[in-house]
Structure formats: C-alpha cells, structure tokens
Amino acid sequence: MTLLLLGACTVSCEGFLEKDPDGAIPKDEVLKTPDDVEPYIMGVYSAFKNSALYSGVMTLAPDIQADLMYAVNGYSNQYGDIWRWNINSTTSEIASVYSGLYLVISRANFFLDRVPQLEAQPLTDDQKTLIDKCKGDCYLARALAYSELLKIYCKAYDPETADKELGMSMILTYDESAMEEPRSSLQRSYEIVLEDLKRAEEYVTRDVSNSIYFTIGTLNALYARTYLYMQDWEKAVEYASKVIDNSNYSLASSFVASDGSSSMSQYQYMWYYDTSSEIIWKVAFTATSAGGSLSSIFHHYNYTSMPYMPDYVPAQWLLDLYDTTTDARYSTFFNQQTTGYSHGLSWPLFIGKYWSNPTLNATTSESFLNEPKVFRLSEQYLIRAEAYAELGEDELAAADLTTLRQARIQGYTEYHGTGEELMDEIRTERVKELCMEGFRLQDLKRWHEGFARTPQEATISGSTANELKVEADDDLFVWPIPQHELEAYPDLQPNDSNKK
C-alpha cells in the first residue's frame, strides 16, 4: 500500500517539493494515528521502485554514458542523448532521477516531521517499537537518496576542496523553506548523510541477508560506500569489514549448486531469482507491484515472432576482461545471439544479469523484471580492497581481491600484486563485477579518468558518439541540475554542465 504525499514528479513539475498535486492525499489527513505508520512507511519503500531509480535510469544511464556499451545500428534511440553525451538541463533522464530521489527524501521528511505528534499520543510498547523502527528506515532512506544525488549531481569528493565545492539542497524537513541554503557545500552535504546514518544506528535492528527492508548490513554498507567516495580509507575499511564479518552474508559461489536447482549455481540463482545470502538490500517487487525492466534495452525480445533487437551491446574491451572459460560472470552475464537487424549482427548480448525473474511474471509471458540489488557483499570486498590499497596495505587488499575471484573464477588460486598494478586490478575487478549496475561513470569521475570509444561491428557508423573521446574531469561527468528546478528556485546554483 502506498500513500502518495507528493506526485511522482516529472520534468513538468514546478519543483521537487510541489505540494498536494492532483490525486495526492492532503498532508493533514496522513499519519494522524499510530495505525497509519506501517502503511505510510511502505510508501517510503515503494518510492524506490520508481523506474527512474534503481530499476531503470539511475542504474543504466551512467554506464551507458560511459564506455561499457555501444548503440547498435538501427537502435530505438532509448538513452540516445545520454550515450551521445548530448546532455543538458532538459534531458528527461536527468530530471527523472533528480525528482525521483527528492520524492524519497520528501516522504521520509514528512514522516520524521510527524513523529513528535505520533509520540505524544498514548502508545503501546509495540507501537513505540514500530515508530522507532520506521524512524530508522526514514533516516536511512534519506541518507541513501542524498548519497545518490551527491554522486550524480556533484563533483567527486576531494577532502582538500570539498568545503568549497557545491553539494546539494539538503532539506531535512517537509517544509523546503527550512533548507540550510540553496546548495550546501559538498563537505556539509556529506556530513549530513553521515549524521542521518548515525541517527539510523539508534533504530535499525534488523540483521538478515536478502532483505527488502533496511538492515544493520544496509546501514554499514552505505557507510562504507560513502566513506570510499569521501576518500576516508580507514573508515571505509572499518564499515566494509562490519559487513564482511557479519555471518549473515556470504559470497554466492559460481560453482556450487543452489538449493533451488541442481543445474544452476548460487551465483546464477541470485541473478535469476533475486535471492542470495550475498544480497544485503534489494528493492522489493511483486508480480503486481514492480518498477522498470533493467534488461529490455539489451534484447527487446518477446518470445514470439520478434528476434533479439538490442539497443546496446557490450564493448569489446569489456568482454575481453573476462576469461570466457573459467570466469562464471561471463556465461552468467553474456549470451551469444544473432540479432534480427538487417546487418545480422551476432554478438555476446548482455542478457543474463537481468533476464527475468519468473516469480515476477503476472501472466504466462515474461515480465523481464528483476529486483534491483542495491547492496551486495561483493561490492564491500571491492570497497575494502581499494581502501586497503590506498592505505598501502597491499597484502590485505590482494587477499580481498583473491576472495572475490575465488568465488567467481574456476580454479583461481591467489593474487599477490602490489602498488599500481594492484590498484589497476581492483579497478578492473569493479568493472567485471559491477558492470551495468550504475557505478562506472562515478568511478571514472572519482578516479579522474577519461575514456575513448573505438568503433566496433554494427554499431552506429559515422556517429561521433561511436568514437567519442572524453577527457578526465569533463563537466558532463556531473549531471546538470534540471532546468525546471532552476526556474522554480532562482537561488539554486547550476553546475558547470548546465552552462554547456
């Protein structure tokens, strides 16, 4: 059940805190009694189903904008502006992610504003416990949404300059007039995320894997990711270790059969059925209540007359990173197919990672839906390995890299690299493990690296995007602030990418 306080803002919204749009429930009629709490908090979680977020744009667009995928000759032009770097303040994907994240924040803020009124009423012990649990959910939801905004719409965090760079509009109440300033500094913005995580620690008590609700593992995983982006290597190690050392979590083996199918490994089962002890937190879908499809643009297949007609195919350099015979990720993610285009492209299509969870099919046809796995244990190993390497703890970093590779690569023994070679291997492993999960553009930004595309078979010929070269620190590594926000809030400072 979802209570819609704010409409799911689109590019036509006046602003991200537009009140009481058509069809919304008036705010004075929401959260009046403790009985309203549980249905309302489901509305906070449901905001993450938005196809602009983890089940669509926010996951796919950054990796398509970078160097992992190539548009196929004849493609439908979905994400076309993103792939071509034809990005500006009115690009629909840019606006939808921004509005979707602020919708999460607004719902969390509304609940937190209402808590004093709820707690002033006579409450049973169970009602007090529920309200506390939901406070933890809202603090963590707000921290997560702001962390994504900071990654996408701000420059990479540099401890030496963060106090001088633009952060986000950090709104901590449903009344947007109470924001600290139109855009806080990047340093202050990250401090607020950490403050929310600290508050969430008081109330988040769930401690299980494969959860659709926020857990202690979710909290620590977001701490670790945030500290990695802040270049606080010791804290990144500390919090990633809390997740890694939690016995609830274990890497899905690529070579041990899952409980559900003797022909499917634990790793394949995780991507097919969205279930694994490696999953820390995922966005809950059902057959009748789901978000977007992460796979459709990679196949456009309907099981009847239409052959595979992908919009995008993997870059050859990405495919070349994997050992095709021993690395289980290759056979899990990619599948050689001949497309239905007139040019007859035959290519390893990216159709395995997000193919279609059969339990989400509302009918006999495939839904091509999977629950987005926002936090997984493998990312925590990569975070800790990178942080260890930055701290000069090469042996510990190499050990984490070894642990992950042993779970993915048949017969893998040990890795003992050091220095720059070790860091290169960790960065390469992030690409192999996290491809098309929305990390690539932000990784290139924080590593201060550019990229160059090389034309490959049956991709858009004659297109400048097909052989695009992007220098490190290009302004468009930071997405522009949507135009409708700048118009609604004249004091809101634009990004350099707004000026292109």
pLDDT higher than 50, residue 13: no
Residues 262 and 400 in one domain: yes
Tell whether the model's pLDDT for residue 440 goes beyond 90: yes
Q: Based on the fold, state whether residues 201 and 230 are members of the same structural domain.
A: yes
365 — pLDDT class (breaks 50, 70, 90) = low
Q: Is the pLDDT of residue 17 over 50?
A: no
pLDDT of residue 27: 67
Is the pLDDT at 23 greater than 70? The verdict is no
CA distances from 117 to 27, 28, 211, 302, 393 (A): 14, 12, 30, 51, 50
> Across-strand partners of 245?
none
Domain identity same for 170 and 202: yes
Window from 143-157, 323-337, 357-371, 486-500 with minimum mean pLDDT? 357-371
Query: What range defines the domain where residue 337 resides?
Result: 296-355
Tell me the C-alpha distance between 296 and 273, whole Å: 17
The confidence score (pLDDT) of residue 18 equals 38
In degrees, to the nearest 5, what angle opens at C-alpha 51 toward C-alphas 375 and 59? Answer: 45
Q: Which residue has the tokens 């009602």?
A: 127
Answer whether residue 2 is part of any domain: no
- 270 plus 311 within the same structural domain: no
Q: Look at residue 171 and tell me if it is in a domain.
A: yes
Count CB-CB contacts under 10 A for residue 121: 10
Is there a domain that residue 461 lies in? yes
| Cα distance between residue 45 and residue 26, in whole Å | 20
275-306: b (≥16 Cβ within 10 Å) or e: bbbbbbbbbbbeeeebbbbbbbbbbbbeeeee
CB 484 within 8 A of CB 12: yes
**What is the model's pTM?**
0.93
Q: What's the structural domain count of the chain?
A: 2
Do 282 and 211 meet the contact criterion of CB atoms below 8 Å apart? yes
- Digit-coded pLDDT (tens) for 199-227: 999 999 999 999 999 999 999 999 999 99
Instruction: Tell me: do 171 and 247 sit in the same domain.
Output: yes
pLDDT > 70: percent of the chain: 91
Do residues 474 and 350 both lie within one domain?
A: no
The residues near 330 (Cβ < 8 Å, ≥ 6 apart) are 319, 322, 323, 324
Q: What is the mean pLDDT of the chain?
A: 91
In this predicted structure, what is the pLDDT of residue 225? 98
Contact 6, 106 (CB under 8 A): yes
258 and 397 part of one domain: yes
Domain identity same for 230 and 305: no
Asked whether residue 75 is domain-assigned, the answer is yes
- Strands 373-376 and 279-282 come out as antiparallel
Within a domain: 259: yes
Flag whether pLDDT at 481 surpasses 80.
yes
Q: Is the pLDDT of residue 259 over 80?
A: no
d(CA 290, CA 313): 25
In a domain, 454, yes or no: yes
pLDDT at 442: 97
Same domain, 255 and 334: no
* 167 or 16, which is more confident: 167
495 pLDDT higher than 70:
yes
Residue 363, in any domain of the structure: no
Tens-place pLDDT, residues 26-58: 666 788 899 999 999 999 999 999 999 999 999
CA distance 14 to 488: 6
Residue 178 has pLDDT above 90, yes or no: no
Q: For residue 383, what is the domain's CATH number?
A: 1.25.40.390
CA–CA separation, 442 and 104 (whole Å): 21
Domain stops at, among 355, 383, 402:
355
DSSP 168-237: -----SS-GGG-SSSS-BHHHHHHHHHHHHHHHHTT-----SSBSS--HHHHHHHHHHHHHHTT-HHHHH
Q: Do 46 and 74 share a structural domain?
A: yes
From 355, 386, 405, give the residue that closes a domain.
355
**pLDDT for res 364:** 60
Flag the least confident range among 306-310, 399-403, 446-450, 491-495.
306-310
Residue 434 pLDDT greater than 70, yes or no:
yes
> Alpha-carbon distance 337 to 268, whole Å?
19
Residues 35 and 170 in one domain: yes
Do 271 and 408 belong to one domain?
yes
312-339 tens-digit pLDDT: 999 999 999 999 999 999 999 999 999 9
Q: Does residue 68 fall inside a structural domain?
A: yes
